[in-house]
């Protein structure tokens, strides 16, 4: 029977079909663990006297709480320290592999899986973190789970899951210069809304998606959850295989051939039917930025802050009024006139090596705007090492930016990297919720190159605003193929 | 888990849409390693506002939250459910729930009752006109009753059954341990394993230090 990519991966993992409305029991290939959503799960195992069923399909790292400065010193915040020490103790007690702060393989959990080659096409991947959808970029069915489910997977390596619907999101054509993967996903969320993907697994298709590097695909799948979707997926292709080949946990020799043969079957059949379809023209896209307090409240940078009276839907109007007040904006104000205090470049959405290269290319030889604080936080220690090997750290420091150690950092401000009340950021992360980056903080979500242009000018800006002498990036991957490539 | 068939308690009208889990419990409260004690963290940013609904005496002891569409979006943190439960909520009524939040609720015995948005409006009207009005949520009949308003709600059959029986998911799954073992025997050998660990050679990671002498943003926190 014809099937979609998501259905094929699901069907290959059904341990037991649910009957009479009961969910299917699905096998989980890879379980990623971090310090915030796991302590209560391990505690549950301990209380019930249960072991981790498959430590060899489980990997832990420290990311949400970790400081990005002075990582060789004791963590100042005692509750953060307790949580990280708890993870280390649990990993030791239950035999789970862990990459701790200071280890070259430590980093944001959604970077660690791909860079080690553990994230592969056709897998089921879970983690107690909603941005697990990132791994869908490889054609894996990957989704975030709560702590009870973390405990369930630790104990049984399975999850009971209700069936999902499928939505095709086709992005035709080629992106114009200055528009990036981030702008595609922000435009999609603005189009379908923060609840538009609810109950669906999204499959991103079309020429613009196929042209993206793995980094760009991860950016898109990462934010599927911001449209309310269970997961986002992209069918694996040569770009995927090339990224994986030679990574530490990628299959080798005959195993590689067998795996690739299977991976090539992981595509939606031509006659398969999606429950819903959305089409976007890449050529229509331009740099996108959010003005409000949910990721669906975004507009092209050339636009203006909405005027609530002009919004027909009553719920949306009230939400817009509230968001504009919280954000300290004026209805009708051009988005380009918004001045920022902080530029944050990092997170599981846009903290990868390609993002850092794109930023470095623009800021090289320049100085940041006065009074703007610029934080560059690589998504993993390997990404940091890679960037240093390419000399990007010098470029950032000469620009006046701070070059930090890896972690989630200001994306959610669980560590000291926070906005002060009323402070405004342009951020390459994924959520602009009230208080997300610090109590009272105001967040505008942007792409890495918009972040770079904004850091240079001090107001929300695109690369085109830097003047006619600055070439606008055309979105082609900034990938180096030499032996240094590790991240 | 405690069995859930019917609950009656004060209804709390939360007239907001898109109540994401960062609003339900901000990230700074996620650092605890226990499963209880999160009541003070619930809606922490809003609780400082005296006009916030839970700061009004009539609603303070509420146990049925009636919220706008897209409740529980964003982060997967189950702490959002723990915080609601620890505060004393037994039921959240909304016209649309985020998937992960709905799943987390079911596992913790918090009922996520989905009703039509026009019914949410009816409930809000009663609860705002007569603060302190009790709401009865009947899981058996799938109805929400508030004064003369009786509206149906949706919950999937499986979650309803588990809540009514008070069953624990892990125990249910482990009844099928043999089938899991059989499945494992069929898995392809090339599928990745985290152990034995493979990685690139260890390299020293240099700690970043605070930057001295660089002009930082004027609003920077000390």
- Cβ atoms within 10 Å, residue A246: 11
Q: Above 80 in pLDDT, residue B214?
A: no
Is the Cβ of B109 closer than 8 Å to some Cβ of chain A? no
| B57 closest CA partner among B21, B17, B12 | B12
Q: Among B208, B209, B215, B220, which would you mutate to test the A interface (most chain A Cβ atoms within 10 Å of its Cβ)?
A: B208
d(C-alpha B187, C-alpha A178), whole Å: 44
Residues in chain A: 487
CB proximity B193 to A under 8 Å: yes
* Tens-place pLDDT, residues A73-83: 999 999 999 99
Q: Can you give the pLDDT at residue B69?
A: 95
Q: Half-sphere exposure (CA, 13 Å, Cβ side) for A242?
A: 10
ω before B196 within 30° of 0 (cis)? yes
Which of B75, B116, B176 to mutate to probe the A interface, most A CBs <10 Å?
B75
pLDDT in tens, A126-150: 999 999 999 999 999 999 999 999 9
Res A475 pLDDT > 80: no
Alpha carbons A67 and A405: distance in angstroms, whole number: 8
Q: Is the pLDDT of residue B106 over 70?
A: yes
User: How wide is the angle at C-alpha A57 spanned by C-alphas A7 and A10, nearest 5°?
Assistant: 5
DSSP string, A171-202: EES-PPTT--HHHHHHHHHHHH-TTTTBTEEE
Q: What is the pLDDT of residue A2?
A: 85
Tokens at residue A214, please? Answer: 């793995």
pLDDT confidence tier of residue B218, bands split at 50, 70 and 90: very low
For chain B, the average pLDDT equals: 92
Check: complex ipTM more than 0.95? no
- Which pair of structure tokens corresponds to residue B88? 């004393």
- What is the rounded average pLDDT for all residues in chain A? 95
Instruction: Please indicate whether, in this complex, the C-beta atoms of A412 and B27 are within 8 angstroms of each other.
Output: yes
B111-164 residue pLDDT tens: 999 999 999 999 999 999 999 999 999 999 999 999 999 999 999 999 999 999
| B24 contacts: CB under 8 Å, gap ≥ 6 | B42, B43, B72, B80, B83, B84
The string of pLDDT tens digits covering residues A224-266 is 999 999 999 999 999 999 999 999 999 999 999 999 999 999 9
- Provide the 3-class DSSP secondary structure of residue A396: helix
Strand ranges inside chain B, DSSP E: 6-14, 64-67, 91-94, 111-114, 134-138, 143-146, 149-152
Query: With an 8 Å Cβ cutoff, is A265 touching chain B?
Result: no
Confidence of residue A439 (pLDDT cuts 50, 70, 90): very high
How does pLDDT run across A394-407, given as a tens digit for each residue?
999 999 999 999 99
Listed in sequence order, the residues at least 6 apart from A374 whose beta carbon sits closer than 8 Å to its beta carbon are: A342, A343, A345, A368, A396, A399, A400, A401, A402, A455
* pLDDT score of B220 more than 70: no
Conformational region of residue A438, where left means phi above 0, alpha means psi within -120 to 50, and beta covers everything else: left
**pLDDT at residue number A48:** 87
Quick one: closest CA in A to B48, which residue?
A439
8 Å CB contact between B80 and B72: yes
Write the DSSP string, A416-445: S--PPTT-EEEESSS---TTTTSTT-EEEE
Q: What chain A residue is nearest to B30 in terms of C-alpha separation?
A: A36
Does the structure show a pLDDT above 90 at A474? no
A82:B189 CB<8 A? no
Q: How confident is the model at residue A485 (pLDDT cuts 50, 70, 90)?
A: low
Distance from CA of B213 to the nearest CA of A (A): 10
B115 token code pair: 């009703």
- DSSP string of A213-243, one letter each residue: -HHHHHHHHHGGGGGTBSEEE----HHHHHH
Look at residue A160 in the predicted model and tell me its pLDDT.
96
Instruction: Give the predicted TM-score (pTM) of the model.
Output: 0.92
Strands (E), B77-215: 91-94, 111-114, 134-138, 143-146, 149-152
Contact criterion met (CB below 8 Å) for A486 and A246: no
pLDDT in tens, A198-228: 999 999 999 999 999 999 999 999 999 999 9
pLDDT band at A19; cut points 50, 70, 90: confident
Are the beta carbons of A132 and A112 closer than 8 angstroms?
A: no
Q: Which of B32, B104, B176 sits opposite A148 (nearest CB)?
A: B104
The string of pLDDT tens digits covering residues A312-361 is 998 899 999 999 999 999 999 999 999 999 999 999 999 999 999 999 99
- Say yes or no: A3 contacts chain B, CB-CB below 8 A: no
d(CA A471, CA A476): 13
The CA dihedral of A249, A250, A253, A259, to the nearest 10 degrees, is 130
């Amino acid at each position: 029977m014809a099937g979609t990519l998501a259905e094929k991966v699901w069907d290959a993992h059904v341990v037991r079909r649910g009957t009479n409305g009961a969910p299917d029991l699905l096998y989980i290939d890879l379980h990623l663990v971090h310090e915030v959503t796991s302590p209560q799960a391990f505690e549950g195992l301990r209380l019930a006297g249960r072991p981790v069923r498959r430590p060899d399909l489980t990997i832990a790292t420290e990311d949400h709480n970790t400081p990005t400065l002075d990582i060789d010193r004791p963590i100042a915040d005692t509750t953060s320290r307790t949580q990280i020490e708890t993870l280390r103790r649990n990993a030791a007690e239950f035999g789970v592999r862990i990459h701790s702060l200071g280890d070259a393989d430590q980093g944001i959990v959604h970077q660690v899986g791909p860079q080690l080659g553990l994230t592969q096409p056709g897998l089921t991947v879970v983690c107690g973190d909603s941005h697990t959808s990132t791994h869908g970029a490889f054609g894996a069915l990957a989704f975030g789970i709560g702590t009870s489910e973390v405990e369930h997977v630790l104990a049984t390596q399975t999850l009971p899951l209700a069936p999902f619907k499928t939505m095709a999101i086709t992005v035709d054509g080629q992106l114009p210069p200055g528009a990036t993967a981030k702008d595609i996903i922000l435009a999609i969320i603005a189009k379908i809304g923060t609840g538009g993907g609810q109950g669906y697994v999204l499959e991103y298709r079309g020429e613009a998606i196929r042209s993206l590097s793995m980094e760009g695909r991860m950016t898109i799948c990462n934010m599927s959850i911001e449209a309310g979707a269970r997961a986002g997926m992209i069918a694996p292709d040569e770009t995927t295989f090339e990224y994986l080949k030679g990574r530490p946990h990628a299959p080798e020799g005959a195993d590689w051939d067998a795996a690739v043969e299977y991976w090539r079957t992981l595509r939606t059949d031509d006659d398969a039917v999606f429950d819903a379809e959305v089409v976007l023209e890449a050529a229509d896209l331009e740099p996108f930025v959010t003005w409000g307090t949910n990721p669906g409240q975004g507009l092209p940078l050339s636009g203006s802050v909405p005027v609530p009276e002009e919004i027909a839907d009553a719920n949306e109007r009230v939400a817009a009024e509230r968001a504009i007040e919280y954000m300290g904006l004026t209805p009708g104000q051009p988005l380009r006139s918004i001045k920022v205090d902080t530029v944050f470049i990092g997170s599981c959405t846009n903290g990868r090596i390609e993002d850092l290269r794109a930023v470095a290319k623009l800021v090289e030889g320049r100085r940041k705007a006065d009074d703007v604080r610029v934080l560059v936080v690589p998504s993993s220690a390997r990404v940091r090492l890679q960037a240093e090997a390419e000399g990007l750290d010098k470029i950032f420091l000469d620009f006046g930016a701070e070059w930090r150690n890896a972690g989630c950092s200001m994306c959610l401000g669980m560590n000291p990297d926070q906005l002060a009340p009323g402070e405004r950021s342009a951020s390459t992360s994924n959520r602009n919720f009230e208080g997300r980056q610090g109590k009272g903080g105001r967040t505008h979500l942007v792409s890495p190159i918009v972040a770079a242009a904004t850091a240079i000018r001090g107001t929300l800006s695109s690369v085109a605003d830097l003047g006619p002498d600055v070439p606008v990036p055309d979105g082609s991957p900034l990938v180096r193929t030499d032996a240094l490539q590790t991240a | 888990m405690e069995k859930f068939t019917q609950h009656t308690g004060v209804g709390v009208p939360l007239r907001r849409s898109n109540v994401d889990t960062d609003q339900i419990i901000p990230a700074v409260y996620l650092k605890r390693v226990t499963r209880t004690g999160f009541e003070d963290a619930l809606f922490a940013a809003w609780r400082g506002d005296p006009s916030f609904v839970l700061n009004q005496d009539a609603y303070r002891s509420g146990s049925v939250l009636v919220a706008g569409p897209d409740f529980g979006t964003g982060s997967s943190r189950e702490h959002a459910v723990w915080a609601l439960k620890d505060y004393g909520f037994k039921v959240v009524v909304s016209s649309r729930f985020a998937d992960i939040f709905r799943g987390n609720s079911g596992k913790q015995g918090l009922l996520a009752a989905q009703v039509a948005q026009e019914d949410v409006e009816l409930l809000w009207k009663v609860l705002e006109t007569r603060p302190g009005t009790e709401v009865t949520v009947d899981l058996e009949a799938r109805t929400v009753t508030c004064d003369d308003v009786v509206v149906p709600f949706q919950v999937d059959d499986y979650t309803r059954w588990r809540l009514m029986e008070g069953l624990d998911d892990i125990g249910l799954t482990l009844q099928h341990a043999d089938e899991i073992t059989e499945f494992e025997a069929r898995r392809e050998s090339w599928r990745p394993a985290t152990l034995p660990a493979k990685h690139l050679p260890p390299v020293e990671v240099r700690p970043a230090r605070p930057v001295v002498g660089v002009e930082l943003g004027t609003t920077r926190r000390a």
